[in-house]
Amino acid sequence: MTAVHRQSLIIKARHGIHTRPGALFVKAAKGFEADIRLACDGKEANGKSLFKLQTLPLSCGAQVEIIASGQDAHQAVEALAALLSELE
């Protein structure tokens, strides 16, 4: 059974996660073997697809959850949560 790791956080970037920060997230996510999903407002998207991420309402103040499963899931969630927290 594969372990699933999750972490919730609030988007603090004043313009939300638009194309440029979304691309940074996807690039970082692709560095992990884990399956990575981002959930927001009852919807989920593949964290390794910029196109799919753009279907989520990732605006400032939105609560998101990073969900990862696989070999390096814990490290992926930690790194991606830190990345999202640093975006302005």
> For position 3, what pLDDT does the model report?
85
Q: What is the pLDDT of residue 1?
A: 58
- CATH number where 37 lies: 3.30.1340.10
Q: Which of 2, 3, 5, 6 is nearest to 64 (CA)?
A: 6
Taking alpha carbons only, the member of 33, 9, 20 closest to residue 84 is 9
Domain of residue 64 covers 4-86
| pLDDT given for residue 35 in this prediction | 98
Q: Which residue positions in the chain have pLDDT lower than 70?
A: 1
Sign of the C-alpha dihedral, residues 37, 10, 60, 63?
positive
Query: Looking at 5, 15, 18, 74, which residue is catalytic?
Result: 18
Q: Is 18 a catalytic residue?
A: yes
Looking at residue 88, what is its pLDDT? 77
Number of domains the chain contains: 1
Rounded distance between C-alpha atoms, residue 48 and residue 36, angstroms: 7
